[in-house]
Amino acid sequence: MSANNAFHIAVLAGDGIGPEVMAPALEVLRKIETRSGLRFRFTEAAAGANNYLATGKSMPDSTIKLCEEADAILLGACGLPSVRYPDNTEIAPQIELRFIFDLYAGVRPARLIPGVPSPIVGADKRGIDLVVIRESTEGLFASMGKGIVTHEDARETLVITRKTSERLFEFSFRLAERRKARGKPGSLACVDKANVFKAFAFFRRIFDEAAQRHPDVNTDHLYVDACSAMLVKRPWDFDVMVMENMFGDIVSDITASLIGGLGMAPSADIGDKYAVFQPCHGTAPDIMGQGKANPTGMILSAAMMLDWLADKHGLEGVAEAGDQIERAVDQVYAGGLKPMEFGGSNGTADITKAVLGAL
């Protein structure tokens, strides 16, 4: 924090509907300022496909420097289907930031909000409240930009290291312990494919070593295919899951679909010093500029940012501000708010106004 006790937040709105969902999240944080002693200083910076079109880079050096100096980073959605690097991969600052700032823990909560439809029968009564922790710098994504393609074949290399796995598991056990202290199960499952690949057996072995240091956390092992099948049958049986990068990429989309879709899903990429907070959805250029975008995932990502800042700086009042945002979101959806992706008529402005009113 700066001397005036204002949190300095780097704001990277991005492409497509990114700026449209970022604006409501900033309004919510400004509303929080009026209700508490918290202060924020927002600095906007360029990132994404449009910046690549204009400059040939996904992010200018000034954006990276800003992110390095800020207390936290808020990211909208980046990338456009029509804009690609010469190797035909997407413009993805969100992935690049993970490598630049060593953001090894991808945190993907999935909580079914009252009044939000789930495709799982019984979820409205049993509830869904789980967290996917996705290792975000290694696994199959370690090969990003490094794959070898010939006329005959293509090869990508999966990487799992002890150093990153140990940090990831310590983070995961600590999160499970924090959830247990808040009245949740606080259990942790390692999701892998250790029955087939040596790399995942190595991953599991390091998990078991970490488990011995955290005897108060109930642990389990699940193969990723069995885990996926169980999630779409009994998601209420899950609490915290930790897994390799690509598995986490896929499983977190499954869990988001259980709670109303990507528009409802917040996320964070967290390292030892830095953290980025963004919704799970993409840039949705097909609805850009039409007022249809659902800002809930972005608003809840801002709430996650407050919880992280509270934990990092030991400021319980900041965590309470994040809880206030979550309660406001719960209130408006329980009251009948229905975004357009659910077949309703509530667009960006309606959702923003409702959450601000609940605050």
User: Is the domain of 181 the same as that of 62?
Assistant: no
User: Which among 238, 259, 280 is the end of a domain?
Assistant: 259
Structure tokens at 147: 């794959």
- Percent of the chain scored above 90 by pLDDT? 91
User: Is the domain of 155 the same as that of 250?
Assistant: yes
User: Is the domain of 122 the same as that of 89?
Assistant: no
Give residue 261's pLDDT band: very low, low, confident or very high (50, 70, 90).
very high
3-state secondary structure the chain: CCCCCEEEEEEEEECCCHHHHHHHHHHHHHHHHHHCCCEEEEEECCCCHHHHHHHCCCCCHHHHHHHHHCCEEEEEECCCCCCECCCCCECCHHHHHHHHCCCCEEEEEEECCCCCCCCCCCHHHHCCEEEEEEECCCEHHHHCCCCEECCCCEECCCECCHHHHHHHHHHHHHHHHHHHHCCCCCCEEEEECCCCCHHHHHHHHHHHHHHHCCCCCCEEEEEHHHHHHHHCCCHHHCCEEEECHHHHHHHHHHHHHHCCCHHHCEEEEECCCCEEEEECCCCCCCCCCCCCCCCHHHHHHHHHHHHHHHHHHCCHHHHHHHHHHHHHHHHHHHCCCCEHHHCCCECHHHHHHHHHHHC
Does the pLDDT value for residue 5 go beyond 90? no
What total of structural domains would you count in the chain?
2
Does the pLDDT value for residue 325 go beyond 60? yes
Considering the domain boundaries, does residue 264 fall inside one? no
Considering the domain boundaries, does residue 112 fall inside one? no
pLDDT on residue 145: 82
Q: How far apart are CA 144 and CA 103, in angstroms?
A: 16
At 273-321, the pLDDT tens digits run 999 999 999 999 999 999 999 999 999 999 999 999 999 998 888 989 9
Residue numbers of the domain that contains 125? 118-259
User: Which among 259, 282, 300 is the end of a domain?
Assistant: 259
User: Is the domain of 308 the same as that of 253?
Assistant: no
Considering the domain boundaries, does residue 294 fall inside one? yes
Does the pLDDT value for residue 3 go beyond 60? no
Considering the domain boundaries, does residue 159 fall inside one? yes
Q: Which CATH number covers residue 300?
A: 3.40.718.10
